[in-house]
Amino acid sequence: MPRFMTICPTHIQGKKEDAWNNFLSGGYIAIGWMDEDLTGKSIDEAILIIRSKKYESEASVIDVFTKFLSLNVGDYVGVNNVNHGLFGVGVVTSEYRYQEFKHNTGVDDKEEFYSHFREVDWKYTNYVRAKDILSPGERAWEPYGTVGSLLDEVPPYIRRLLGETPPEESAKINYVDPPPDYLDSVVEAVKRLKADPKHQERAHESLVEDFFCAIGYKKHRDIRYRQGRIDISIWDGDSPLVIVEVKKDWNLSLYNSHGAVQQGYTYALDRGVRYVVVSNGDYYAVFDRLKGLSSSSNLIGEFRLTALEEEHLSLIDRLKQESLTNPNLEELFRHLSESFKQEGGKVG
């Protein structure tokens, strides 16, 4: 079964369209970093070479090359413009190849060119916006990084875009309406605040506090404001349980919260906190730092209080104090096992 991966055409700001046109006219995709031919090298051998270079972003470089080298002939690739849209979609037609300065990333400086490439047969070459191809309930590609996840199958929205499956009727979502009684007052507060265009960012922090109170935490005891630069932290006695990074943007989502996630992770790493939440008071993205090796793989789930689905209620239960202070050991060991497997796959 063919797989799917997105790839960014350049690291040069403002040059994505130019770099995409080079992908298109040349019939390839490419990545950069090393000026060293990896033809005939296994992934494990490539990783050893990468480690010898001592990159500051070594884990990211390994991740990119592992995915790029893992592509098979027949796999699908999409060239993305962060989360806004896709420049094009094609099918990989060659094994890994190397040609020095193969890809012009949009500037004349050859130090910025990419040399590692795969040939591609482009199937769709008109720019398309994400919102025009995603059905309700579908999640788009990862917006940041050189490559996205290497998915085990081609997403339905790509199949539809290429005409390989007929357009679907809007997926029916089982919303929880009305919301559970314990959340009703919080949902109403969110709606009132959304109707007030002059509200301050502090009001979003109040919504977050209201939410955590609704699921069992106590003000002034379990919920603390402004511990250093942390917006809100959730505690159990003297032990911090959750770092919450709060933003004012009502359009906050997994795909435009990269900076907020990184801020939350910085504070969580500094204080040894396992859970990170990014929220605007309505939208919540929940991360478990013991799950996987990156923030994207740490994601447990996301929900919006004003558009709750049945599946979101178990995630909300996960945030309750009794769940965080009495962790599921089976889940914990599974997370650790998965992390070791990922690390083992990287170092060979």
Single-letter code of the amino acid located at 190: V
pLDDT reported for residue 223: 95
**pLDDT, average across residues 61-86:** 95
Q: Give the torsion sign (CA, 329, 335, 339, 340).
A: positive
Evaluate if residue 348 carries a pLDDT over 60.
no
Evaluate if residue 26 carries a pLDDT over 90.
yes
pLDDT tens profile 208-237: 999 999 999 999 899 998 776 889 999 999
- What value does the mean pLDDT of the chain take? 88
pLDDT reported for residue 347: 28
- pLDDT level of residue 154 (50, 70, 90 thresholds): very high
Question: DSSP letters of 4-16?
Answer: EEEE-S-SSTT-H
**pLDDT, average across residues 174-200:** 91
Evaluate if residue 333 carries a pLDDT over 80.
no
pLDDT reported for residue 173: 64
For 283-320, give one letter per residue: b (16+ CB within 10 A) or e: bbbbbbbbbbbebbebbebbbbbeebeeebeeebebbe
Domain ranges of the chain: 4-161, 181-334
Instruction: Look up residue 150 and give its two tokens.
Output: 């290497």
Evaluate if residue 197 carries a pLDDT over 90.
no
pLDDT reported for residue 329: 58
pLDDT reported for residue 341: 45
pLDDT reported for residue 170: 46
CB 316 within 8 A of CB 215: yes
**pLDDT, average across residues 115-141:** 91
Evaluate if residue 316 carries a pLDDT over 60.
yes
**pLDDT, average across residues 176-194:** 93
SS3 278: strand
**pLDDT, average across residues 143-167:** 89
Evaluate if residue 292 carries a pLDDT over 80.
no
Burial class, 116, CB count within 10 angstroms (exposed 0-12 / middle 13-18 / buried 19+): buried
**pLDDT, average across residues 96-125:** 96
4-161 adopts what CATH topology?
ph1033 like fold (3.10.590)
| Alpha-carbon span 163 to 323, nearest angstrom | 45
- pLDDT level of residue 43 (50, 70, 90 thresholds): very high
Ranges 202-206, 251-255, 336-340: which has the least confidence: 336-340
Q: What does the DSSP 8-state code read for residue 147?
A: B
Burial class, 223, CB count within 10 angstroms (exposed 0-12 / middle 13-18 / buried 19+): buried
Residue whose structure tokens are 């909300």? 316
Q: List the one residue out of 282, 247, 280, 245 whose CA is nearest residue 265.
A: 245
CATH number of 181-334: 3.90.1570
pLDDT reported for residue 327: 65
Evaluate if residue 34 carries a pLDDT over 60.
yes
Evaluate if residue 297 carries a pLDDT over 80.
no
pLDDT reported for residue 80: 96
Evaluate if residue 335 carries a pLDDT over 60.
no
pLDDT reported for residue 161: 94
Q: From start to end of 8-67, where are the E strands?
A: 28-31
Query: pTM value?
Result: 0.55
- CA gyration radius, the chain: 22
CB 342 within 8 A of CB 67: no
Evaluate if residue 340 carries a pLDDT over 70.
no
- pLDDT level of residue 137 (50, 70, 90 thresholds): confident
| Alpha-carbon span 31 to 75, nearest angstrom | 17
pLDDT reported for residue 345: 36
Q: What does the DSSP 8-state code read for residue 172?
A: P
